[in-house]
Structure 1
Amino acid sequence: MTIKQFEIFTATAPLQKPIADATHTLSEISFVVLRLHTQSGHTGEAYLLSFQYSSQAIIGALKDQGPLLIGEEVCATVKVFMKLNHANEYFGHEGINRWAQAAYNMAMWDAWCKILKQPIWKVLGHSAQKIPAYGSGGWISYTEAELLDEVKGYAARGFGAVKIKVGKPDWREDLERLQLVREAVGPHINIMMDANQGMNVPNALALARAARNIGIQWFEEPIDHTDYEGYSILRHQAGISLAMGEREYSTVPLRELLKRNALDIWQPDILRLGGVEAWRNSAALAAAYNVPVLPHYYKDYDVPLLSTIANGAGVESFDWIDPLIDHPIQFHNGFALPHNRPGWGFTFKDEHLTAIA
């Protein structure tokens, strides 16, 4: 069960042209893939979404931390997390180091569950197997035709909800696009909106109030994620549910928002938080306040983990890695099913990987 070697790869998904939200333009859809090999011949794998950002920095962090795992048992996930915490303290626990720490944690879980010959959700104990899913995208850079084509495509595939980006310089343009989406998908599909922290409180409040008649289910990251008082204002005045969490590296922001009654939906990002235990710890804190969990991006990890908690609300779906892996998550009538294969249940196809020396 001991770790003897680690490997790092990169992979890229097709992107016809750049896409943008309110704060970033994305020129590529790229990933960093980590593999751990044990003395017994088992392999554990994890990946992270990197886009075009700081590829050498995250690879450097993975290379720095990897040697600290050699000789450790793959089941010692908490021990290794604490060991890496100690090693990372000088340069900080948030940011690049935490991403690398999470990747190793998740690869260890993958290898351990493969040794046990069980999917991770069965090892952790499960509460449900069918997870509601929503189709994500709706980029600000889309033309109206591209936007409507995407949301109608999600509806045709059976998704019961779609999320689109907002945060245009004039919020009234966002409102017009939301109205077009509502007309395109009809009254029975839920619509959510995501500003990616790109708005201020007055404009977010104006858009939220104006969008209520359209039937918007929730508003994600309307303002800067550190503006807890701003979230409190919006939560109590906008008349619409608020969601956030994807930028957080600990449960401290969740605690601060819960104290202010300023949050309706918690959206943990498993790579930023630090892996499986950290993700579940945040879900437990949210549960203590009856706040549902609807994680950010990583459906291939989130579907199994949502199956292990009682306050899971759903999963976000992008198709980006599906052509690159052997067993993508399957959706049926708007719901996702966790794999029955050991570990996380999927691996990247070797032909899509480029090894890092």
Structure 2
Amino acid sequence: MEHFIKDIRLFRTVSDLSKPIADSTHSINRIAFYVAETELENGITGQGYLLAFHYSRNAVEGALRDIRAFVLEKGYTVYETVRLKQEYDEETEYFGTNGLQKWACAIINVAMWDAWGRTLGVPVWKLLGTDSRRIPVYGSGGWLSYSDEELVDEVLGYKKRGFTAVKIKVGSGLGVDHDLHRLRKCREALGSDVRIMMDANQGMDVPSALELSQKAISLGIQWFEEPVQNTDYAGYEFLRNKCGIALAMGEREYDCEALKSLIARNALDMWQPDLIRIGGVEEWRNSAALAISYNIPVLPHYYKDYDVPLLCTVSRVAGAESFDWIDGIIDNTMRVENGFAYPREGAGWGFSFKKECLEELGV
């Protein structure tokens, strides 16, 4: 019985770097998270977290409370991650398994993997088998809400810390020339030895994305993330054939259906699964396996502290996205040096949220 889940505790927390930011489609006023902590009969705990910003607080918390009750009522051992997903999919089918139901299941999945790794005294990436011991990483940000000075300060800060690639936001709505102005500012500040990528967060139409791409080629832009809406497969196909810059997408997807459609159209260069949105460790790896089987490298969305260990277990990697948002509220920040991130050697995911930074939810 020592491997059974005894309790699940739920918490809110806020980044110590929280401030208002904006991309082409969202104004974000709070960088906030939810944390789930599973406790086993043997006393070992494991944590998982999701990025929630300020959105749908009551709905998110309700979904988390629902799955907590489900897990504790049904009873699961810590390694029954697949069984839990299958049975929770059946439980939630009436209202749809995609959306918040999947987010909630995924955060428990991640916490279970953490607790299982800690039970065995092994990092998750070693449990799964490795292909690499370090992963290329890029500094992410470049928010549209930044002034030119703030934008340049951020990218130069990444360069000073040893990052060799950065990503900035485009699709401001102020026209292609405004986006090009911001890209040029970054290129002038960084010189030629730092790679630059751009991300429209689905905020452009095909003609403007094509125009920006063709004009940005001379600046050495490496790839273009979510230039248009994630369901516009024809748009991705057209852009990939015409724009001259590699295309990346995937963070909005709850399954592999978009990936399959884009593969069929030969319309994608890099696959970007979001660990929580797609449903947890197994579903992330399933999607990566499909992408890699078609020679499409994996470039996950946001969750560096989970993605770096997982990327160490797959064979074709484009890189990992790096934000500093949880670094000040966890006990063990990830090592990033000279453009690479290194998986932690500690058991499980190798880090925990600081207790003093967590506000427990009532259940």
| Cα displacement string for residues 225-245 of structure 1 (whole angstroms, at most 9, x for unaligned residues) | 000001001010101100000
Structure 2 portions without partners, runs of 5+: none
| Cα displacement string for residues 32-89 of structure 1 (whole angstroms, at most 9, x for unaligned residues) | 0001111111111100000000122111111111122222100111111101111111
Deviation at 1:307, TM superposition (A): 0.5
Which of 50, 57, 60 matches 1:58?
A: 60
Distance, in Å, in 1 between the alignment partners of 2:20 and 2:46 is 32
Contact 2:16/2:328 (8 A) holds in 1? no
Deviation at 1:168, TM superposition (A): 1.7
Q: What TM-score does the superposition give when structure 2 sets the normalisation length?
A: 0.97
Are 2:327 and 1:316 equivalent residues in the alignment?
no
Which of 45, 48, 52 matches 1:46?
A: 48
Are 2:176 and 1:151 equivalent residues in the alignment?
no
Which of 244, 261, 266 matches 1:239?
A: 244
Q: Please list, as runs of the form range in 1=range in 2, the aligned pairs for 1:194-233 lying within 5 A after superposition.
A: 194-233=199-238
| Cα displacement string for residues 290-321 of structure 1 (whole angstroms, at most 9, x for unaligned residues) | 00001000000001000000012211000000
Q: 1:187 maps to what in 2?
A: 192
Structure 1 portions without partners, runs of 5+: none
Deviation at 1:15, TM superposition (A): 4.5
Which of 246, 252, 259 matches 2:257?
A: 252
- Over 3 Å counting, the alpha-carbon distance change for 1:319 and 1:40 in structure 2 is same
Deviation at 1:94, TM superposition (A): 1.0
Contact 2:18/2:32 (8 A) holds in 1? no
For 2:79, what is the secondary structure of its paired residue? coil
Are 2:344 and 1:342 equivalent residues in the alignment?
no
Q: Please list, as runs of the form range in 1=range in 2, the aligned pairs for 1:1-357 lying within 5 A after superposition.
A: 1-15=3-17, 17-70=19-72, 71-169=75-173, 170-357=175-362
For 1:203, what is the secondary structure of its paired residue? helix
Give, as a single letter, the amino acid of the residue that structure 2 aligns with 1:63. Answer: R
- Name whichever of 105-114 and 13-22 sits farther off: 13-22
Give, as a single letter, the amino acid of the residue that structure 2 aligns with 1:161. Answer: A
Distance, in Å, in 2 between the alignment partners of 1:88 and 1:110 is 25
Distance, in Å, in 2 between the alignment partners of 1:33 and 1:259 is 37
Give, as a single letter, the amino acid of the residue that structure 1 aligns with 2:229. Answer: D
Distance, in Å, in 2 between the alignment partners of 1:18 and 1:3 is 38
For 2:105, what is the secondary structure of its paired residue? helix
Distance, in Å, in 1 between the alignment partners of 2:19 and 2:230 is 28
Deviation at 1:176, TM superposition (A): 1.1
Contact 1:248/1:268 (8 A) holds in 2? yes
Work out the percentage of aligned pairs sharing the same amino acid: 54
| Cα displacement string for residues 212-258 of structure 1 (whole angstroms, at most 9, x for unaligned residues) | 01000000000000000010010101011000000000000001011
Distance, in Å, in 1 between the alignment partners of 2:353 and 2:303 is 14
Moved over 6 A (4+): none
- Name whichever of 16-25 and 52-61 sits farther off: 16-25
Deviation at 1:171, TM superposition (A): 1.2
Deviation at 1:14, TM superposition (A): 3.2
Distance, in Å, in 2 between the alignment partners of 1:41 and 1:56 is 30
Give, as a single letter, the amino acid of the residue that structure 1 aligns with 2:193. Answer: H
For 1:261, what is the secondary structure of its paired residue? coil
Deviation at 1:17, TM superposition (A): 4.0
The aligned length equals 357
